[in-house]
Amino acid sequence: MSFPLWLSLFAACAVISFTPGAGAINTMTNSLAQGWRRSFWGILGQQLALVAHVVIVAAGVGLLVARSPILFGIIRYSGAAYLVYLGIRLILIRTDAPEGETELVSAPESAWSMVRRGFWVNLLNPKAIVFFLAFMPQFIRLDQPALPQYAVFLATSVGVDILVMWFFFAAAARPFRAATATPRGRRTLNAVFGSLFIAVAVLLALVH
């Protein structure tokens, strides 16, 4: 991959990563609940899903998903249902700890649980598969070895997304952590981010 083409890829990945979505909401929620450093585990799960999307598209399965309304619908509604579940669960978290305690939005969560949730948040989005199906061929040259090009594409996509998620979205949530010192503040933040999960689920289910 030539350097000018890679720069184009880098810029495109940055624009995509800065676009708010379920992954950004999940990252900010993790940062509020578990702290900026531990939010990386959720980001890692999201990147594993991104790798899966690229592999699915490169293997030709993405074309099958894009051309099958039934398969596309199953994945889409499953993803929407999962986001609704996350939103409702977040809204219903108990926040009745005593005033002044520096407890986070929710109880400590294991790294594996954060990785798993981040993975499913990103994976259950068939539009991401369709997007990569249209986006990836722009940067793959058929007259050059495919594997090195896919490796560069994947490394750039993952690297940019990690930087944006961790140093922008996760960091952007840090000023709000002061609100987690009170039950009312925790309830408000949980309601806001839970509602955002549900809103993204509605968009995923309804927007074609």
What tens digit of pLDDT does each residue of 15-29 get? 888 887 889 999 999
Distance CA 79, CA 77 (A): 5
Question: Is the predicted pLDDT of residue 133 greater than 90, yes or no?
Answer: no
> Any residues with CB less than 8 A from the CB of 198 and at least 6 apart, and which?
83, 84, 87, 88
Residue 77 lies in a domain: yes
pTM, two decimal places: 0.80
Cα 170 from chain centroid?
12
pLDDT band at 95 (very low <50, low <70, confident <90, very high): low
Check residue 97 and report its DSSP letter: P
Residue 16 lies in a domain: no
Residue 13 lies in a domain: no
Question: Is the predicted pLDDT of residue 167 greater than 80, yes or no?
Answer: yes
Q: Is 4 exposed, middle or buried (0-12, 13-18, 19+ CB in 10 A)?
A: exposed
Total count of domains within the chain: 1
Residue 135 lies in a domain: yes
User: Could you tell me if 36 and 171 are in contact, meaning their C-beta atoms sit under 8 angstroms apart?
Assistant: yes
Residue 15 lies in a domain: no
Per the structure, the complete domain to which residue 46 belongs is given by 3-8+21-206
What pLDDT is recorded for position 163? 95
The dihedral sign for the CA sequence 159, 81, 59, 21: negative
Check residue 36 and report its DSSP letter: T
What pLDDT is recorded for position 117? 94
Element (H, E) at 201: helix 183-206
* Average of per-residue pLDDT values in the chain: 82
